[in-house]
Amino acid sequence: MIIKRASSLGFCYGVRLAHKKVIEALNKYQRVNTLGPLIHNEREVKRLAQLGAIPINSLDEVNAPAIVLRTHGVRRDVLESAKKLAIKEVIDATCPHVAKAQNIANRFYLDGFRVVILGEIEHPEVQSILSYAPNAIVVSENLQNFNFDKGIVKKVGLLSQTTQPIEKLKILAARLVELSQELVIANTVCFATRKRQEAARELAKEVDAIVVIGGKASSNTKKLYLSLSSYNVAVYQVEGAMDLPLDLLKYERIGITAGASTPEWIIEEVESRLKSL
Ligand code: SF4
């Protein structure tokens, strides 16, 4: 059996950075809180909890000397409240790409633009961006049909949730050109998700089956899995080696890819189990 990894897989830049900050905080304080699970990977969150990084759901539950704010970013008021806590340190692990989107939204807002955000309104990242541009409009679908309530708007500033497809941003931008006198577009799409999908599709041309590794709650892992659906390759989504089906034995060449929140140790676990089959 030949096993081949995708050229891009696993932790993205933002997740790697946040993870590093948690490990550094653990070395310093032995026990830290994360506001929500650090990443969408239950096994890694569990492992970190055993090391002392305990997820909490709200600032009222803080029970450690330091708190880590995760990659999606938090609302501005939550950040301010966290800074007022009687603890030793607030570690802001907001991904730099998300922080950039927050800053751009705020600049648009302060410069008097009508801010439009392409994204999912319930997503924590969009909620965090919204707090920097009050009254911004969030557009998630029906891109072509989008309309402002008052017809043409003078100044519009458009940006995107970092994980939205660039194609959607282009469609919305084209619509907004018709609805505004001045349109400024900030391309805040992060290419980590896209890069993993493209690498997986390349891999699909060279193998008979692909194993996609990632947590069940990880939407980018799900998107990675779905991005392979139109390819002539068998695709399996697993959380770890324990989920590998014996069915895989019938394939000669097997590819491996992993979502942006899948740690290297789980990728290695799957890889070595496949090698031993
Ligand atoms: S997917 Fe992109 S924006 Fe999101 S955490 Fe990773 S690097 Fe940052």
Segment holding 29, helix H or strand E: helix 13-29
Torsional class of 231: left (φ above 0), alpha (ψ -120 to 50), beta (otherwise) = beta
CA–centroid distance, residue 95 to ligand 1 (Å): 6
Cβ-contact 203, 221 below 8 angstroms:
no
Q: Which residue has the tokens 């660039």?
A: 166
Nearest to 48 by CA among 81, 78, 70, 74: 70
**Residues labelled as active-site residues:** 125
Q: Which residue has the tokens 């060449």?
A: 253
- Please give the pLDDT value at position 217: 83
Q: Read off the tokens for 139.
A: 């557009």
- Please give the pLDDT value at position 150: 77
- Please give the pLDDT value at position 142: 76
Question: Which residues form the pocket of ligand 1, taking CB atoms under 6 Å from any ligand atom?
Answer: 12-15, 71, 95, 97-98, 162-163, 190, 192-193, 260
Buried b (16+ CB within 10 A) or exposed e, 179-200: bbeebebbebbbebbbbbbebb
CA–centroid distance, residue 252 to ligand 1 (Å): 34
CATH of the structural domain 13-95, one choice from 3.40.50.11270, 1.10.1660.10, 3.30.450.60, 3.40.1170.20: 3.40.50.11270
Pairing of the two strands 153-160 and 114-118: parallel
Distance CA 139, CA 117 (A): 6
pLDDT tens sequence for the chain (277 residues): 899 999 999 999 999 999 999 999 999 999 999 999 999 899 999 999 999 999 999 999 999 999 999 999 999 999 999 999 999 999 999 999 999 999 999 999 999 999 999 999 999 999 999 999 999 999 997 787 788 887 889 999 999 999 888 889 999 999 999 999 999 999 999 999 889 999 999 999 999 999 999 998 888 898 899 989 889 999 999 999 999 999 999 999 999 999 999 999 999 999 999 999 8
Exposed/middle/buried for residue 52 (C-beta within 10 Å: 0-12, 13-18, 19+): middle
Exposed/middle/buried for residue 16 (C-beta within 10 Å: 0-12, 13-18, 19+): middle
- Biggest alpha carbon–alpha carbon distance for the chain: 64
Instruction: State which amino acid sits at residue 28.
Output: K
CA–centroid distance, residue 111 to ligand 1 (Å): 27
> Would you list the domain boundaries of the chain?
2-9+192-276, 13-95, 97-185
Instruction: Write the residue with the smallest CA distance to atom 5 of ligand 1.
Output: 14
- Please give the pLDDT value at position 147: 84
Pocket test for ligand 1, best of 11, 15, 72 (most atoms within 8 A of CB): 15
Q: Which residue has the tokens 């789980």?
A: 266
- Please give the pLDDT value at position 177: 94
**2-9+192-276 carries CATH number 3.40.50.300:** no
- Please give the pLDDT value at position 144: 77
CA–centroid distance, residue 97 to ligand 1 (Å): 7
Pocket test for ligand 1, best of 92, 98, 221 (most atoms within 8 A of CB): 98
Task: For the domain covering 97-185, report its CATH number.
Answer: 3.40.1010.20
Pocket test for ligand 1, best of 97, 126, 219 (most atoms within 8 A of CB): 97
Nearest to 22 by CA among 51, 59, 42: 51
Nearest to 215 by CA among 70, 99, 41: 41
Cβ-contact 123, 80 below 8 angstroms:
no
Instruction: Write the residue with the smallest CA distance to atom 1 of ligand 1.
Output: 192
Answer yes or no: same fold for 13-95 and 97-185: no
Instruction: Write the residue with the smallest CA distance to atom 8 of ligand 1.
Output: 14
Cβ-contact 214, 187 below 8 angstroms:
no
Distances (CA, A) of 215 to 221, 232, 237, 259, 272: 7, 24, 9, 8, 19
Cβ-contact 25, 91 below 8 angstroms:
yes
Within 8 A by CB and 6+ apart from 89, the residues are 25, 29, 65, 66, 67
